[in-house]
Amino acid sequence: IRDTLNSVVKDGVIDFTDIDITEEEIKKYSQIYIVACGSAWHVGVEAQYVIEELAQIPVRVELASEFRYREMPLVKDGLVIVISQSGETADTLAAMRMAKDKGLATLAVVNVIGSSIAREADKVFYTLAGPEISVATTKGYSAQLVALDCIAVQFAKVKGLITDEQYSYYISELQTIPEKIEKILQDKERIQWFAAKYANAHDVFFVGRGVDYAVCLEGSLKLKEISYIHSEAYAAGELKHGTIALISEGVPVIAVATQKHVYSKVISNIREVKARGAYVTLLTREKEITDPSICDVHISLPDIADEFAIFEAVVIFQLIAYYTSVGKGLNPDQPRNLAKSVTVE
Ligand code: BG6
pLDDT, position 344: 85
CA distance 331 to 319: 14
Say what angle helices 139-158 and 310-327 make with each other, to 10 degrees. Answer: 170
Give DSSP secondary structure letters for 19-58: GT--HHHHHH--EEEEEE-HHHHHHHHHHHHHHHHHH---
CA-based end-to-end distance of the chain: 31
Distance 106 CA to ligand 1 centre (A): 19
Give DSSP secondary structure letters for 154-175: HHHHHTT-S-HHHHHHHHHHHH
**pTM here?**
0.97
The CB density around residue 9, as the number of other CB atoms within 10 Å, is 20
pLDDT, position 197: 83
Nearest CA to ligand 1 atom 9: 38
Nearest CA to ligand 1 atom 15: 84
pLDDT, position 292: 87
Q: Among 70, 55, 60, 73, which residue's Cα sits nearest to residue 150?
A: 55
Whether 194 shows a pLDDT value over 90: the answer reads no
Distance 220 CA to ligand 1 centre (A): 15
204 band by pLDDT with thresholds 50, 70 and 90: very high
Whether 338 shows a pLDDT value over 90: the answer reads no
The average pLDDT across 217-229 equals 97
* Secondary structure (H, E, C), 116-147: HHHHHCCEEEECCCCCCCCCCCCHHHHHHHHH
Give the nearest ligand 1 atom to 136 CA.
8
CA distance 280 to 278: 6
pLDDT, position 164: 98
Whether 78 shows a pLDDT value over 90: the answer reads yes
Pocket test for ligand 1, best of 35, 39, 314 (most atoms within 8 A of CB): 39
Give the nearest ligand 1 atom to 117 CA.
15
Distance 136 CA to ligand 1 centre (A): 8
What's the pLDDT tens digit per position in 263-289? 999 999 999 999 999 999 999 998 878
Distance 94 CA to ligand 1 centre (A): 15
One-letter amino acid of 177 = I
Between 70 and 339, the higher pLDDT residue = 70
In degrees, rounded to 5, the angle at the alpha carbon of residue 320 between the alpha carbons of residues 317 and 325 is 125
CA distance 98 to 206: 34
Residues lining ligand 1, CB < 6 A?
Answer: 37-40, 84-86, 89, 92, 135-137, 338-342
What's the pLDDT tens digit per position in 109-132? 999 999 999 999 999 999 999 999
CA distance 205 to 270: 11
